[in-house]
Chain A
Amino acid sequence: MNQTQTSPVSNQPTELAEYTVRTIDVKREYKMGTETVRALKGVSVSIERGEYISIMGPSGSGKSTFFNMIGGLDKPTEGKVYIDEVDIAQLDSYELAWMRCRKIGYIFQTFNLIPVMTALENVMLPMIFAGMTTADAQDKAMEILKRVDLQHRWKNKPTEMSGGQQQRVAIARAFANDPTIILADEPTGNLDLNTGKLIIELLRGLNKEKGVTVISATHDHKMLAVSDRIIWISDGRVAKISNRDELQIEEGHIQGPGWDEGKTLR
């Protein structure tokens, strides 16, 4: 880490080294008529505060379903999800909304900016939901836009911005209420390679600066270099979890213990 700050992970006093996200044997089934799709077949992971986690896996392996579980957007059919050691199954809709508003920042593949609002207004929206006054929200949103280098585009509507710019606004919006977790479901999926790299680097930078836990699903193994850990999901299960130092990342190939040597990931 090349930051002047020390890593937030090591900042945590040992007795408070709780897990930001913890899942225990999470299963999720979708009933489609008579058929049952088992999207998650028992996933247990523990993610520490300040970690940058990438979730890898082929399309349809259950990454998004897993995101919905840990983002408090959907409830597991079986198993437990803890956010900051709180069982989210026990939360009512007001508490869930509070958590989505303050604790978690969401970043989507499709950016999902509100089309009728300017960049600034989009970033302000979560602050408004959190009860901040318009004036305070404006100042803070402008600060965050500066951080993502878009202060000059504050007046622009999403349609007037490129995909990369829109995603940067979305990142600014995700950071609006200083969340502890950032959930990014294929944040680079709709971007070209270079723009995608910039987005990932931005996320990594913010992760280090603010000590926020980033959990990001990605198809693109070139984005894995920044991760602290990589969770490989396949067919609704965790295939393996690898630490960064166990990985040797090359163009087009990922090699690591337990992963087929030279296997090209798609």
Chain B
Amino acid sequence: MPNKQEIKRQISLPLSKAVEIAWKSIRLRLSRSMLVTSAIVLALAFLCSILTTETLINGMRQWIQNTPQTPEYQRLKQVRDKLDADLKALEAEIRRVAQYTKAPPADAKPFDVQQTFDGQTWEDIRERIARPLPISPGDLNKLLTVEPAMLESVRLLIEDAEKLKSVRSELNRPEELKAQMSSNGVPTDPDEIEGNKIQTRWVIGLALLVAFVGILNAMLMSVTERFREIGTMKCLGALNGFIVKLFLLESLFQGTVGTLLGILLGLVVSFGMASLSYGSAAWLNVPWSDVGINVLITLLVGMALSVGGAILPAAQAARMHPIEAMRVEA
């Protein structure tokens, strides 16, 4: 008589088999479970954009702090001082010459400002260089009618004043950005930054919770949907461990795809928002390595959450009785 020895123990399949089957399953289901995937995408996009926005703001803060110490900034300061001195000298010269200028002869052709400066009046020029003219427009006209050689000095004055204007605005940029950030409610003082960090952590925690619940719910749904399939697999000889692996891997695939999409969306949103708020200043000092770390963190978190969220449903699936497969629902 045959005895119990005849019954052997079922072998455990290599992980690669589970990977193969899970991949097949998820490829087909991915589009169907778009709703689920989109929950993962949104949750991780939220996480990624919060992390990245924080990084971008830190980058800007650092830029505000570091820029005045750079040699370039120091050089610009010297350029500003030199231009300032040059301008003062030029203005003094123009005033001095104007003082001694006689009235123009009656037959002299009066100086035409608009013809000389591309249609601009002295008023326009004064606005352009953001600086008062050294003498009144009338006096300038008189001076240049009598002493055409002075036109060279006036041109130099305009040129230097324009340069000074751009150098000044360049030097002002850190202060301007700081003011802009403050007006957006982003703290720039060290104490305030600390408080803000705690707040950010809460928001990140919330994002993680949302992602976790989303994935847990998705996997529970996936298990309920597939009672029959799981039961059938068990009837065909699948071990509990295999079912667990199958679900964990499926969740991992789905989670990874969702997370990658989420990261993409998160980056677009955070860079887009920063660009809208600060224009090109947002791109002045992007800490790319930190952005890379954020991407990596989000990816790891997404993968960990998708596996973590699937453990419970997978265990539930594996514990299921194969008779579920036989049950005929009306």
A33 sits at the interface (CB 8 A)? no
The docked-state distance in angstroms from the alpha carbon of A90 to that of B326 is 23
Q: Which of B191-239 contact A (CB under 8 A)?
A: 228-229, 231-239
Interface string of B1-40 (1 = CB under 8 A from A): 1111011111101000100000011011100000000000
Measured CB to CB, the closest approach of chain A to B264, in angstroms, equals 27
Total A-B residue pairs with C-beta atoms closer than 8 Å?
A: 111
B154 sits at the interface (CB 8 A)? no
> Contact at B326–A97, with CB atoms within 8 Å?
no
The interface stretch among B63-71, B174-182, B253-261, B317-325 is B317-325
Interface of B is mostly: helix
B contact residues around A51 at 8 Å (CB): none
A235 sits at the interface (CB 8 A)? no
> In the complex, which of the residues A100, A112, A116, A131 contacts B25, with contact meaning CB atoms closer than 8 Å?
A116
The interface stretch among A1-9, A121-129, A247-255 is A121-129
The docked-state distance in angstroms from the alpha carbon of A106 to that of B237 is 11
> Contact at B232–A112, with CB atoms within 8 Å?
yes
Measured CB to CB, the closest approach of chain A to B78, in angstroms, equals 71
Measured CB to CB, the closest approach of chain A to B77, in angstroms, equals 68
Interface size bracket, B side: 35 or more
A45 sits at the interface (CB 8 A)? no
Q: Which of B69-87 contact A (CB under 8 A)?
A: none
B240 sits at the interface (CB 8 A)? yes
Measured CB to CB, the closest approach of chain A to B238, in angstroms, equals 6
Known A18-B1, A185-B326; contact A97-B6, beta-carbon cutoff 8 A: no
> Contact at B237–A68, with CB atoms within 8 Å?
no
B contact residues around A84 at 8 Å (CB): 2, 6
Q: What residue of chain B has the Cβ atom nearest to residue A95's Cβ?
A: B7
> In the complex, which of the residues A85, A113, A130 contacts B3, with contact meaning CB atoms closer than 8 Å?
A85
The docked-state distance in angstroms from the alpha carbon of A67 to that of B325 is 12
Q: Which B residues contact A (CB, under 8 angstroms)?
A: 1-4, 6-11, 13, 17, 24-25, 27-29, 228-229, 231-240, 242, 321-323, 325-328
- 8 closest pairs, A vs B, by CB? A101-B237, A97-B10, A98-B10, A129-B237, A94-B9, A112-B232, A116-B28, A126-B236
- Add 13 more A-B contacts to A102-B8, A116-B24, A177-B237 (CB < 8 A): A18-B1, A68-B323, A97-B10, A98-B8, A100-B234, A101-B236, A103-B7, A108-B325, A116-B29, A128-B13, A129-B236, A185-B326, A186-B328
